[in-house]
């Protein structure tokens, strides 16, 4: 089971077992000495039907759908060139894009082999200079756009239902996406289907060989959807739904598909070493006090910057952090505890890569008092009278507006709230001024 993908849905195990068996039977047909294209095509339709039935109910198990999508793509490509079957290149491309889609749902890194095969499907059109990359025309070019849209949407930053909502929005935005050989300032990705390489992000104007992916019109379309939110028409835009996950997906696409796409503020530096991480406020306090479990799995450090770090767990463990969760990080050769929020999870060949946005470089514990029983909280900043500090607790109720005092570093400070609490997965953070 993929431990990274999570969802509120669940399906009986036999549904996934049935899908896996159908895909395995399709594999066996492909491996048979006397391949029957008609039988293979019937088997493909059975797998596609079962896969469609589980499409939004994948729960934490995406391995069976991933296996099935790959079997379907292989089968379509195998029978596409046979005269007994009429399988268009658009159909083959669509099957390959389903592999890209399920890889994205499972938070897997892009598969170079799939992108190479997808580029190969486009080769005849590219050679003849008749390629049409348009989301409103049924073609292999449309499917390539869809795959590139999935890759550019930052789906490894979304969790649960938000992933599905993002994919629905992407499919609706397809008619507004396009690619061109002519470079332009708003293109954030460059693709070269003939080279068969995974499309790469482009951070500045360039004349890279290939096609330049444009999301500008789709970004404008998403703005129109925003104006329809909260209206009376239940069948337009985002259906006037207040679903947080739907809004999160919409904001993600608006942010990443804008002309000025987000970029890193600080340079990353490759470093070595290992870290141990804990999850949640209570475990972070234990890590600071030195009473955390000694048998924590070791994560390898990839790179660090002033505001973030990337770490890798070579053998992904079932108990991995969730997106948006608070984690405490301690280097093996250091005593201080750093705090961060999990921003990205991705499975790569080297292991599970976790991207963390740091909120405290040297966190400490402090006592928060309101005249009743004191509560131990996480202190993200060095306390100094007249300055502001950020406090973290397991619940926003602890970080109240009333009369509060903070005991830290042998001093007592009176607190004045500066903003509303930021509530995350299992934690709340709030800024206070020390008086």
Q: Are residues 353 and 373 in the same domain?
A: no
Interval 134-177: pLDDT, tens: 777 888 889 999 999 999 998 988 888 889 899 999 999 999 99
| Per-residue pLDDT band at 57 (split at 50, 70, 90) | low
* Residue, of 66 and 318, whose pLDDT is higher: 66
Residue 114 lies in a domain: no
Tally of domains within the chain:
4
Using CA atoms, how far apart are residues 304 and 38, in angstroms rounded to an integer? 54
| Per-residue pLDDT band at 235 (split at 50, 70, 90) | very low
Least confident range of 201-215, 222-236, 323-337, 354-368 = 222-236
With beta carbons less than 8 A apart as the criterion, state whether 179 and 139 touch.
no
Q: Output the pLDDT for position 294.
A: 66
Residue 210 lies in a domain: yes
Averaged over 243-252, what is the pLDDT? Answer: 87
Q: Are residues 195 and 294 in the same domain?
A: no
Averaged over 374-385, what is the pLDDT? Answer: 95
Segment of 56-70, 96-110, 233-247 carrying the highest mean pLDDT: 96-110
Using the 3D structure, point to which of 360, 377, 409 is the last residue of a domain: 360
| Per-residue pLDDT band at 60 (split at 50, 70, 90) | low
| Per-residue pLDDT band at 263 (split at 50, 70, 90) | low
| Per-residue pLDDT band at 312 (split at 50, 70, 90) | very high
Name the helix (H) or strand (E) containing 328: strand 326-331
Q: E-strand spans in 65-184?
A: 178-180
Q: Are residues 36 and 69 in the same domain?
A: yes
Examine the pLDDT at 339 and tell me if it is beyond 60. Answer: yes
| Per-residue pLDDT band at 239 (split at 50, 70, 90) | very low
Q: Output the pLDDT for position 353.
A: 92
| Per-residue pLDDT band at 260 (split at 50, 70, 90) | confident
Using the 3D structure, point to which of 237, 263, 289 is the last residue of a domain: 263
Residue 109 lies in a domain: no
Counting residues of the chain whose pLDDT is more than 70, the rounded percentage is 85
Q: Output the pLDDT for position 84.
A: 58
Q: Output the pLDDT for position 232.
A: 41
| Per-residue pLDDT band at 357 (split at 50, 70, 90) | very high
Rounded to a whole number, what is the distance in angstroms from the first to the last CA of the chain?
51
Q: Are residues 375 and 337 in the same domain?
A: no
**What are the CA-CA distances from residue 6 to residues 53, 244, 319 (Å)?**
18, 16, 12
Residue 421 lies in a domain: yes
Residue 103 lies in a domain: no
Q: Are residues 129 and 240 in the same domain?
A: yes
Examine the pLDDT at 193 and tell me if it is beyond 50. Answer: yes
Least confident range of 110-119, 182-191, 219-228, 332-341 = 182-191
DSSP assignment string, 222-279? HHHHHHHTTSS-TTSTTTT---HHHHHHHHHHHHHTSSS----SS--EE---EEEEEE
Q: Output the pLDDT for position 314.
A: 75
Q: Are residues 128 and 240 in the same domain?
A: yes
Using CA atoms, how far apart are residues 42 and 52, in angstroms rounded to an integer? 15
Averaged over 218-237, what is the pLDDT? Answer: 65
Using CA atoms, how far apart are residues 279 and 424, in angstroms rounded to an integer? 13
Residue in 100, 110, 64 with CA at minimum distance from that of residue 347: 110
Residue 107 lies in a domain: no
315 lies in which domain range?
269-360
Examine the pLDDT at 106 and tell me if it is beyond 70. Answer: yes
Q: Are residues 213 and 273 in the same domain?
A: no
Interval 381-412: pLDDT, tens: 999 999 999 999 999 999 988 889 999 988 99
Q: Are residues 320 and 367 in the same domain?
A: no
Q: Are residues 233 and 245 in the same domain?
A: yes
Q: Are residues 240 and 277 in the same domain?
A: no
Least confident range of 1-5, 46-50, 186-190, 352-356 = 1-5
Burial classification of residue 108, based on how many CB atoms lie within 10 Å of its CB (0-12 exposed, 13-18 middle, 19 or more buried): buried
Q: Output the pLDDT for position 111.
A: 94
Name the helix (H) or strand (E) containing 25: helix 13-31
Q: Are residues 346 and 288 in the same domain?
A: yes
Q: What CATH number is attached to the domain comprising 329?
A: 2.40.10.220
**What are the CA-CA distances from residue 292 to residues 33, 112, 180, 188 (Å)?**
58, 40, 54, 43
Q: What CATH number is attached to the domain comprising 428?
A: 2.40.10
Residue 110 lies in a domain: no
Averaged over 27-43, what is the pLDDT? Answer: 86
Examine the pLDDT at 108 and tell me if it is beyond 60. Answer: yes
With beta carbons less than 8 A apart as the criterion, state whether 188 and 161 touch.
no
| Per-residue pLDDT band at 228 (split at 50, 70, 90) | low
Averaged over 195-212, what is the pLDDT? Answer: 73
Using CA atoms, how far apart are residues 380 and 387, in angstroms rounded to an integer? 13
Which positions ≥6 away from 143 have C-beta within 8 Å? 90, 93, 94, 96, 97, 118
Using CA atoms, how far apart are residues 161 and 168, in angstroms rounded to an integer? 11
* Residue, of 261 and 192, whose pLDDT is higher: 192
Write down the residue that tokens 């339709």 correspond to.
45
Residue 405 lies in a domain: yes
Averaged over 246-251, what is the pLDDT? Answer: 90
- Report the mean per-residue pLDDT for the chain: 84
Take residue 166 and report the two structure tokens written for it: 């993002």
C-beta atoms surrounding 17 within 10 Å: 11
With beta carbons less than 8 A apart as the criterion, state whether 179 and 211 touch.
yes
With beta carbons less than 8 A apart as the criterion, state whether 7 and 106 touch.
no
Examine the pLDDT at 307 and tell me if it is beyond 60. Answer: yes
Q: Output the pLDDT for position 13.
A: 63
Averaged over 120-129, what is the pLDDT? Answer: 79
Interval 1-22: pLDDT, tens: 454 544 434 444 677 888 889 9
Averaged over 116-136, what is the pLDDT? Answer: 79
Take residue 373 and report the two structure tokens written for it: 């029983």
Q: Are residues 145 and 56 in the same domain?
A: no
Take residue 95 and report the two structure tokens written for it: 């099957």
Using the 3D structure, point to which of 65, 87, 109 is the last residue of a domain: 87
């Amino acid at each position: 089971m993929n431990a990274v993908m999570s969802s509120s849905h669940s399906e009986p195990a036999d549904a996934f077992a049935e899908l896996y068996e159908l895909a395995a039977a399709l594999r066996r047909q492909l491996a048979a000495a006397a391949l029957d294209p008609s039988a293979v095509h019937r088997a493909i339709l059975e797998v596609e039907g079962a896969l469609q039935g589980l499409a939004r109910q994948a729960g934490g198990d995406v391995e069976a759908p991933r296996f099935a999508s790959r079997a379907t793509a292989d089968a379509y490509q195998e029978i596409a060139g046979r005269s007994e079957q009429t399988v268009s290149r658009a159909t083959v491309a669509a099957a390959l894009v389903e592999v890209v889609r399920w890889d994205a749902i499972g938070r897997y890194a892009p598969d170079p082999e799939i992108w190479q095969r997808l580029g190969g499907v486009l080769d005849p059109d590219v050679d003849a200079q008749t390629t049409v990359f348009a989301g409103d025309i049924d073609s292999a070019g449309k499917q390539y756009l869809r795959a590139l849209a999935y890759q550019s949407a930052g789906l490894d930053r979304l969790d649960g239902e938000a992933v599905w909502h993002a994919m629905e929005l992407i499919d609706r935005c397809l008619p507004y996406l396009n690619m061109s050989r002519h470079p332009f300032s708003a293109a954030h990705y460059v693709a070269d289907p003939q080279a068969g390489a995974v499309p790469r992000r482009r951070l500045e104007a360039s004349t890279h060989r290939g096609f330049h992916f444009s999301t500008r019109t789709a970004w404008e379309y998403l703005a129109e959807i925003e104006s329809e939110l909260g209206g009376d028409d239940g069948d337009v835009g985002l259906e006037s739904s207040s679903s947080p996950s739907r809004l999160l997906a919409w904001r993600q696409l608006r942010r990443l598909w804008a002309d000025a796409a987000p970029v890193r503020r600080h340079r990353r530096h490759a470093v070595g070493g290992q870290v141990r991480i804990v999850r949640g406020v209570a475990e972070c306090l234990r890590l600071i006090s030195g009473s955390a479990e000694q048998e924590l799995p070791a994560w390898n450090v990839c790179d660090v910057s002033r505001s973030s770090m990337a770490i890798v767990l070579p053998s992904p463990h079932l108990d991995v952090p969730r997106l948006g969760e608070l984690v405490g990080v301690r280097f093996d050769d250091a005593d201080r505890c750093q705090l961060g929020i999990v921003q990205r999870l991705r499975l790569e060949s080297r292991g599970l890569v976790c991207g963390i946005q740091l909120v405290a470089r040297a966190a400490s514990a402090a006592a928060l008092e309101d005249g009743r029983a004191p509560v131990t909280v996480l202190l993200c900043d060095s306390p100094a009278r007249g300055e502001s500090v950020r406090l973290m607790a397991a619940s926003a109720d602890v970080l109240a507006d009333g009369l509060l005092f903070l005991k830290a570093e042998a001093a007592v400070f009176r607190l004045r709230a500066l903003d509303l609490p930021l509530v995350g997965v299992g934690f709340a953070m709030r800024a206070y001024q020390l008086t």
